């Protein structure tokens, strides 16, 4: 069964723009001038930080549930209604929220987009989510035939295909080459330092999410083939490549990064042209995540888990692809081995993160948003929309691991739970005894 049971994963920008456009038509002109699209168009970390710092401060000052529903919470001044409507739990948090745990939300729609002929890229890193020291993310688009040029970098790269098809290549240290085609729902993994490339295929190229195991990683800070040859003396290049000066003069003088080219031939032709089976890598660097059977399936949805157990090359990134039905809940849980970096593919959801001493923060999430949960922090994710909520959970770890609050409570002697929660034994036995992962609404 496909994990994308809800609406197709069309461009997040198109969906977001359409949603805000419909909302703006219902707002007075003064409100339309400060629409969410205009706000997002600023592409400014400072703007986003200031906006949500103010919302966080308001959350702390709200005091009690009564104050949130009487005149105390009124705002006779200016408001950015489209933005607030997409984040109601931040603007008017539940009374259980308390204190400050730092930023747990950002959106790729706030990030500056680098556009070149052949595609675009933008990123969410530790600069936007200061708590995220272990993971950074990049969202990239390549048109048909266009390349993300040959390069390598200091971080491991894990990727999830969002749209279309691409051809990837990666060279192993033993000199063997891996070439494969990937499409929506597929993964790849490139270890740090391994040279690789990505090329969009027909009919309309591709879009994908890249995840790196360094929080401060910057997509611009990669080792590019074009820049290396441009900054190496010509006589050295002549000696290294065994080429005459006339050929060396043809080499790039500046970076290529993303650039257009022709759509390649078949995968079989590419593999044969590279040297065939004699130079093919025995290691697989791709995985069909979207097509795999669910690791866990309940009435509330399903979870697909990919880590080093079923994708051996992925030793530093573990991930879960979660689908929640309307009203469904990713049960109260925590992860013992890593912080969690989330990417929301479709639908609408809400998450509360719990941290000591007694701090809690609730935020709403939409397609193209990023969520963050500090290591071992308790949390849940709830589908608050009327379509499936689909998102990725990613961890800098070789194994996907979580603790279920329900499972913990049911593994204890009932009198211990009664002493802590004032529940009688009959009530305790209604709590699910096994991990549910996802619970029906």
Q: Which two tokens stand for residue 347?
A: 């639908």
Gap between the terminal Cα atoms of the chain: 21
Please report where in the chains the tokens 């593919």 appear, as a residue.
Answer: 345
Assess whether 393 carries a catalytic annotation: yes
Non-local CB neighbours of 167 within 8 Å, separated by 6+ positions: 179, 180, 181, 182, 198, 199, 201, 264, 267, 270
153 is known to lie in a ligand binding site: yes
420 is known to lie in a ligand binding site: no
- Alpha-carbon distance of 374 to 173, in angstroms, equals 35
333 is known to lie in a ligand binding site: yes
Contact between 100 and 356 under an 8 Å Cβ cutoff? The reply is: no
340 is known to lie in a ligand binding site: yes
Taking Cα atoms as reference points, which of 374, 344, 340 lies closest to residue 100? Answer: 374
Coil, strand or helix at 30: helix
- Alpha-carbon distance of 339 to 374, in angstroms, equals 5
Please report where in the chains the tokens 């970098």 appear, as a residue.
Answer: 153
Instruction: State the Rg of the chain over Cα.
Output: 24
Taking Cα atoms as reference points, which of 372, 333, 309, 322 lies closest to residue 125? Answer: 372
Contact between 188 and 182 under an 8 Å Cβ cutoff? The reply is: yes
DSSP code at position 204 = T
Distances 401 to 318, 381, 392 between C-alpha atoms, Å: 9, 17, 15
Coil, strand or helix at 199: strand
Taking Cα atoms as reference points, which of 378, 380, 398 lies closest to residue 337? Answer: 398
Non-local CB neighbours of 351 within 8 Å, separated by 6+ positions: 104, 362, 363, 365, 371, 373, 379, 380, 381, 382
Long-range contacts: 139-142, Cβ < 8 Å, 24+? 139/108, 139/111, 139/207, 139/208, 139/209, 139/210, 139/368, 140/198, 140/207, 140/208, 140/210, 140/219, 141/205, 141/206, 141/207, 142/118, 142/166, 142/198, 142/199, 142/200, 142/205, 142/206, 142/207, 142/258
Q: Which of 255, 393, 425, 437 is catalytic?
A: 393
157 is known to lie in a ligand binding site: yes
Beta-carbon-side half-sphere exposure of residue 223 (alpha carbons within 13 Å): 10
Provide the annotated binding site for Mn(2+). 151, 153, 157, 196, 333, 335, 340, 379
Active site residues: 393
Provide the annotated binding site. 151, 153, 157, 196, 333, 335, 340, 379
């Amino acid at each position: 069964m496909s994990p994308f049971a809800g609406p197709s994963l069309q461009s997040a920008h198109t969906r977001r723009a359409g949603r805000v456009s419909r909302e703006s038509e219902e707002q007075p002109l003064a409100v339309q001038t400060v629409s969410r699209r205009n706000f997002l168009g600023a592409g400014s970390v400072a703007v986003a930080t200031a906006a949500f710092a103010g919302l966080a401060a308001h959350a702390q000052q709200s005091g009690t549930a009564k104050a949130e529903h009487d005149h105390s919470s009124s705002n006779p001044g200016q408001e950015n209604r489209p933005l607030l409507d997409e984040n109601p739990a931040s603007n008017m948090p539940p009374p259980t929220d308390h204190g400050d745990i730092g930023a747990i939300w950002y959106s790729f729609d706030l990030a500056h987009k680098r556009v070149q002929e052949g595609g675009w890229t933008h990123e969410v890193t530790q600069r936007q989510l200061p708590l995220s020291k272990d993971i950074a993310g990049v969202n990239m688009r390549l048109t048909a035939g266009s390349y993300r040029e040959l390069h390598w970098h200091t971080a491991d790269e894990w990727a999830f295909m969002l749209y279309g098809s691409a051809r990837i290549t990666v060279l192993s240290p033993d000199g063997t080459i891996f070439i494969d085609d990937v499409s929506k729902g597929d993964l790849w993994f490139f270890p740090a330092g391994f040279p690789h490339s990505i090329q969009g295929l027909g009919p309309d190229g591709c879009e994908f999410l890249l995840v790196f195991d360094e929080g401060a990683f910057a997509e611009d800070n990669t080792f590019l083939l074009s820049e290396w040859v441009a900054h190496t003396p010509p006589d050295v290049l002549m000696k290294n490549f065994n080429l005459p000066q006339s050929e060396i003069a043809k080499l790039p003088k500046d970076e290529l990064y993303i650039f257009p080219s022709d759509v390649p031939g078949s995968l079989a032709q590419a593999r044969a042209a590279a040297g065939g089976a004699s130079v093919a890598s025995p290691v697989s660097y791709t995985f069909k995540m979207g097509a795999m059977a669910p690791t866990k399936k309940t009435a509330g949805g399903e979870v697909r888990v990919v880590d080093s157990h079923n994708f051996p090359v992925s030793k530093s990134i573990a991930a879960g692809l979660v689908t929640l039905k309307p009203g469904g809940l990713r049960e109260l849980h925590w992860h013992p081995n890593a912080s969690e970096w989330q990417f929301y593919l479709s639908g609408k959801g809400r998450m509360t993160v719990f941290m000591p001493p007694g701090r809690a923060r609730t935020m709403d999430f939409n397609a193209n948003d990023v969520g963050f949960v500090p290591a071992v922090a308790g949390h849940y994710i709830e589908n608050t929309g009327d379509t499936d909520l689909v998102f990725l959970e990613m961890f800098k770890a070789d194994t996907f691991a979580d603790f279920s609050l329900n499972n913990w409570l049911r593994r204890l002697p009932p009198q211990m739970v009664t002493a802590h929660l004032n529940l009688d034994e009959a009530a305790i036995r209604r709590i699910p005894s096994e991990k549910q992962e996802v619970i029906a609404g």
